[in-house]
Amino acid sequence: GPTDSGPEKTAFFQTLQIATKIVKGRIEITSPVDLLFKGDKVGASEAQLLAMLDIRPFTYGLVVEMVYDNGSIYSPEVLDITDDVLEAKFGLALSNVASLSLGANYPTVASVPHSVCNAFKTLVSIAVECDSYSFEKADAYKALVPKDAPAAAAEE
């Protein structure tokens, strides 16, 4: 592609064996060039070319080799946690809290929806079995049960 370099710099590009042409008084690189690869040491001519093209491919940072936490040492993969993993772990923990709360008969925010659902099921089963008791939401379930279902169940 086009560069901001003038025609006087063509010898520099030729030294690095980079094919160029001059278009509108500017040097244009005619084909893609792989100048550096990860781990390569940058030589003086490569650094000069990168500076000339205003390319800054260098990044600085830390590479985590091990994680130390409360006396335990972990590999850095422990830090590679996605939102999906967090969501699944949180859902499992919430399920465990709800199960424990239901088992202990101790209401919590996690167990109350289950308690309400279980109470509704109990009320519907009472309404289905009782001809004299019903409520609006139970009527739909009562309609699904055949009238002779209790007699047939008793015979078995």
Q: What is the pLDDT of residues 54-91, one digit of tens each?
A: 777 666 778 888 888 899 998 888 878 888 988 999 99
The pLDDT, as a whole number, for residue 154 is 58
Neighbours of 49 (CB within 10 A): 23
The pLDDT, as a whole number, for residue 97 is 94
The pLDDT, as a whole number, for residue 109 is 92
The pLDDT, as a whole number, for residue 156 is 60
- Element spanning 47, H or E: helix 44-52
3-state DSSP call for residue 7?
A: helix
3-state DSSP call for residue 33?
A: coil
Output the pTM of the full model. 0.42
